[in-house]
Amino acid sequence: MAFPNVIGSTAWRSKYRTNAIEQALRNMLVAEKICEVDRSDALTIKNPYGTQPTTVVQALTGTYTPAEFTITDDTLTVTDEFIVSNHIFDFEDVLCNFDLFASRTDEMIYSVAASIDKYVLNNILEDCTGTYTTPAGGFTTAANINVIMSNLLSKVAGYADAYKGLYLVIENTDVVGFVQAQATNGYSFADAALKNGFMGGYMGVDIYVVRTGTFSDTTQGTKTYTNAGMRMFGVKGVTTYAAPRGIRYEEKDVSGKTGKEIVAYGYIGYKVWAPKAALTVEITLA
């Protein structure tokens, strides 16, 4: 018996869009670049740690006193879900002169990516312990850039984890000072900046740009943060964000409506591990 290919084609389209969303998010998310990412099914990620031991330097005696230490349980628990959905009526899809499903998928990808970045970046800032206040004018003043970058580098210099790479997350309005500084410092670097525009690195630090309003005072899910006027600097891979099974996509028939309901959803958690909390720096713009 022959069967129509509608169900099969819909299933393949759903699988394709899920993969497209996952691939796009990995390329777009700043959180993917600066955090360790866990996509396992674990609801809770455990990372116990002990107190820091102290080495004793003494004259030759051959004796010692064993020191006590304590273990602290530290865990990452996933508590929030991200959902974006639309309903595309059949007449909308048929009468449009472009691929409406592809268009909505692109919009959904951007919406999810922006929400995840905002959630992860702001909550990491809430829990980190490194702090720094810029000179007046912040990143928008070109003369401040070298001073700010050198001060930030001194915050994490000497730590073994620094070999993983360093990052700075700024908003698009901060690019002004960087472009001017990059175009006037050095020779080959300045030439490259003058030819190509904003460079994605400075003094060995990878620079990521997010849109204005990413660092803000707001509530997302179970988390509330107050980060208006803040930016972020730190060592890569010392914080974690979890996305169990990644972002998933579904197409559904809805009773009483033509067309399809489409929804993308996922579960996200984050953690600043206590022993390395100082390797992420909260920057206050002056």
pLDDT, one tens digit per residue, over 214-231 is 999 999 999 999 999 999
- Domain assignment present for residue 174? The answer is yes
Residue type, 48: P
In a domain, 57, yes or no: no
Angstrom distance (rounded) from CA 272 to CA 129: 9
First to last CA, the chain: 73
pLDDT at 252: 87
Range of the domain at 276: 6-50+67-284
- Between 43-57, 80-94, 111-125, the lowest mean confidence (pLDDT) is in 43-57
Whole-number pLDDT of residue 2: 45
Lowest mean pLDDT among 57-66, 147-156, 187-196: 187-196
**For residues 57-65, average pLDDT:** 92
pLDDT for 24 beyond 70: no
**Is 55 contained in some domain?**
no
The confidence score (pLDDT) of residue 5 equals: 43
Question: pLDDT at residue 124 above 90?
Answer: yes
Using CB atoms within 10 A of its CB, is residue 203 exposed (0-12), middle (13-18) or buried (19+)? middle
On whether residue 58 sits in a domain, the answer given is: no
> What is the average pLDDT value for the chain, to the nearest integer?
86
Q: Please indicate, yes or no, if residue 169 is contained in any of the structural domains.
A: yes
Q: Where are any strands of DSSP class E within 10-129? A: 36-38, 44-46, 49-50, 71-72, 75-77, 80-88
Confirm whether 263 is domain-assigned. Answer: yes
Position 56 in a domain: no
Exposure of 72 by Cβ count < 10 A (0-12 exposed, 13-18 middle, 19+ buried)?
Answer: exposed
Q: Is residue 59 part of a domain?
A: no
Which pLDDT does position 1 carry in this prediction? 41
Q: What is the pLDDT of residues 229-242, one digit of tens each?
A: 999 999 999 999 99
Q: How many domains does the chain have?
A: 1
Q: At a CB cut-off of 8 Å and minimum separation 6, what does 165 contact?
A: 206, 235, 236, 237
- Give dist(CA 144, CA 125) in Å, integer: 22
pTM assigned to the model:
0.81
